[in-house]
Amino acid sequence: MFGTSAEAKRNRIKVQDVDFSTCPYSGLPPIDAFTGDNITITELRFNLSRPAQASAFQRMMVACNAQAAIEPYIAWRQARALVVMKSVEAAAYAASAATKAMNAETDKQKETIARDAAEAATRFAQELAPLVANAKINKELFTMMLSAVAAP
């Protein structure tokens, strides 16, 4: 896995300070880190969940001759959004079930709520598994496409 030191983080160039009319690197992209929605290329850290930084990242891909990676990038972002939405739905259901259980008046009501919550958790896990797998595949495809295109 990629990593960055504390010193590298302090010295990192701010995305908003870069003019992406030209590519900030030459040759293959130096991907320093790629965790969650954050990718660091040539000391530029992009938080891809932020629209302005995602837009800057796409401008950089165009400037760096990596247009072939844009479609896989978009597919990965869409797949990741589905994972996040389903995860939020599962968490909201779990929080609601916990509240209902705390407010239940009888043990029988608590048991019913717990049983329903367990069944829902199983359904959510079954729904999430293929979404997560799809997001991982799309991220790998995007990373491979981006890594394979040399900048001018």
The pLDDT tens digits for 129-142 are 999 999 999 999 99
User: Of residues 3 and 5, which shows the higher confidence score?
Assistant: 5
pLDDT in tens, 108-133: 999 999 999 999 999 999 999 999 99
Distances (CA, A) of 65 to 117, 140, 146: 49, 19, 10
Report the pLDDT value the prediction gives residue 145, as an integer from 0 to 100.
95
End-to-end CA distance of the chain: give it in Å, rounded: 27
- DSSP at 62: H
Report the pLDDT value the prediction gives residue 10, as an integer from 0 to 100.
56
Q: Is the pLDDT of residue 60 over 60?
A: yes
Token reading at 68 = 């072939």
Q: Is the pLDDT of residue 13 over 80?
A: no
- Residues 17, 151: Cα–Cα separation, whole Å: 20
Q: Is the pLDDT of residue 15 over 90?
A: no
